[in-house]
């Protein structure tokens, strides 16, 4: 499966989930008074879109980029902070800092021009690595590590300067499940 089809599937899930929730909240399928449609559309558009975005990110997104309390759109991780992840085939597990702890494939909100270390531990003994990609699925400034297979082994990827082209981090062998967004502020 190519990364492009993942993005398309993600978009379809978000749009489809939003439409279904908006329809349910709008009371479609039942009568309604003279202002039933007006109120239903208001509720569907206001509440349904917020809920659909949350739902798509929490459950509809097959890679689980955000879980409850996700960091997408949140405050940036402090510059110089060591970001700690656990690598396992079903997804990157956020460990530190607190704003990503417990999340699968957490969105890393980074400050442009700053430096960060991403340290990760191989949790399952499968072959993993980490790469930072741009929107064209190209590795940014050689930010990648070698594949390692020993359970408990760790690697650190040092990012000297965050740039706006950084869009995602992946494990090359398991990019269908081990991928998370990078948001640059």
Query: Could you tell me the domains of the chain?
Result: 3-60 (no CATH), 82-184 (2.60.40.420)
Amino acid 124: pLDDT: 98
Amino acid 80: pLDDT: 87
Question: Which residue in the block uniquely carries the two structure tokens 């960091």?
Answer: 71
pLDDT at 24 over 80: no
Tens of pLDDT along 112-169?
999 999 999 999 999 999 999 999 999 999 999 999 999 999 999 999 999 999 999 9
Please state the rounded mean pLDDT for residues 42-57.
Answer: 38
Tens of pLDDT along 68-113?
334 445 789 999 899 999 999 999 999 999 999 999 999 999 999 9
* pTM recorded for the entire structure: 0.62
Amino acid 75: pLDDT: 86
Which one has a higher pLDDT value, 75 or 20?
75
For the ranges 20-24, 38-42, 99-103, the maximum mean pLDDT occurs at 99-103
């Amino acid at each position: 499966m190519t990364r492009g089809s993942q993005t398309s599937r993600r978009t379809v899930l978000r749009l489809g989930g939003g439409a279904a929730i908006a329809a349910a909240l709008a009371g479609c399928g039942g009568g309604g008074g003279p202002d039933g449609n007006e109120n239903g559309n208001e509720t569907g558009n206001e509440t349904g879109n917020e809920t659909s975005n949350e739902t798509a990110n929490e459950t509809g997104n097959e890679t689980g980029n955000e879980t409850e309390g996700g960091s997408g759109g949140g405050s940036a991780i402090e510059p110089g902070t060591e970001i700690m992840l656990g690598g396992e085939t079903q997804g990157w597990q956020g460990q530190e800092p607190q704003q990503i702890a417990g999340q699968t494939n957490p969105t890393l909100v980074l400050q442009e021009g700053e430096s960060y270390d991403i340290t990760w531990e191989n949790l399952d003994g499968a072959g993993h690595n980490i790469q930072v990609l741009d929107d064209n699925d190209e590795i940014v400034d050689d930010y990648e590590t070698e594949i390692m297979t020993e359970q408990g082994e760790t690697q650190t990827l040092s990012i000297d300067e965050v740039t706006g082209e950084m869009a995602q981090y992946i494990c090359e062998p398991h990019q269908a499940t081990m991928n998370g967004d990078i948001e640059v502020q």
